[in-house]
Amino acid sequence: MSGLKLPTEKHLMLFSGRAYPELAQEIARLMDTELVPTRHVTYANSEIYVQYLESVRGSDAFVIQSHAAPVNESLMEQLIMIDALKRASAKRITVVVPFYPYARQDKKHLGREPISARLVADLFRTAGADRIMSIDLHAAQIQGFFDGPVDHLWGLPVLAEYVKGKYDTDEMTVVSPDAGRVRLADMWTDRLGSRLAIIHKRRDPSIANTVAVHEVVGDVEGRVCLLVDDMIDTAGTICLAAEALKQRGAKKVIAATTHPVLSGPAAQRLNDSAFEEVIVCNTLPIRTEVPVDKLTVLSIAPMLAQAIHEVFEDGSVTKLFR
């Protein structure tokens, strides 16, 4: 045989941006490894500089960044980290984005609008990413925006185990806050063996974050109602939904969502709401001006650590959700 053959071993390396290093550190602890020492600098004119303090040549690199506000800054930092890895000869680069940036801009609603979720996928690819790993994408078609493998994980198993351990699911009704989340609510009913209800709402497309709740379709009177969604942003929609359920005789209202975006008035709205408890995952850091008394935060790090291990070992990510 001509040529030279060398014995090689795969080398996993974890990298973290500055947006939410606590989550990356928890993942590293669970995987019994450490984050690669990295020098991050933001210059006076707001430009970002990244340098890795160890060799990354030939590594299977996982770049972890949670895109909390300011989203554009954290996104640019991750792109620069990917570019640095590519130019330093990393063998494979996986982008780990627990909360996918610009995911709500996944299609055109009006004329002359962008599809920014596709743009973000193109930016990751151009920077040098080979693979994307994310949790509860706002729209499933985002998986097709990236020209490469996309590992779409679910927060539902983590959230559902907590709900089953604390509440009686026999008296529970899973509620979809709008028609777009019915499929997610269906998955919850399959998991919990509960009934299903739907809230019909209309949104004014010309005014952001404004919703009018109209009808509740399903049996909610005297029931423990579980509102499920992929995220809570300003909390306007979900708090209106909780109030509508209470007005229709719900015994108790709780919420389970994966991403705690919690922008602007969200914290105060949740504190003043009809919710008994709001359950979220730690895909994003919670940095609200006032504490949310009703908030329960569950760790998504064990799932991410397992998924990263499966990708590194060329195993199956799908088996985590069977």
d(CA 95, CA 144) in angstroms, rounded, equals: 15
Kindly give the residue spans of alpha helices, DSSP state H, lying in the chain. Answer: 21-30, 71-87, 116-127, 156-166, 182-192, 236-247, 266-271, 301-312
Can you give the pLDDT at residue 9? 82
Can you give the pLDDT at residue 7? 64
Catalytic choice (108, 201, 246, 252): 201
Can you give the pLDDT at residue 237? 86
Can you give the pLDDT at residue 62? 98
Can you give the pLDDT at residue 38? 98
Strands 48-52 and 38-42: antiparallel
Could you state, in chain order, the average pLDDT of each consecutive group of 10 residues for the chain (322 residues)? Answer: 66 97 98 98 98 97 96 98 98 98 94 96 98 96 96 96 96 92 94 93 62 77 97 93 94 98 96 97 95 96 97 90 72
d(CA 220, CA 289) in angstroms, rounded, equals: 33
Can you give the pLDDT at residue 178? 85
Can you give the pLDDT at residue 215? 82
pTM: 0.92
Can you give the pLDDT at residue 202? 63
The torsion defined by the Cα of 268, 213, 106 and 92, in degrees rounded to 10, comes to: 50
Q: In the annotation, is 86 catalytic?
A: no
Can you give the pLDDT at residue 3? 60
Can you give the pLDDT at residue 200? 82
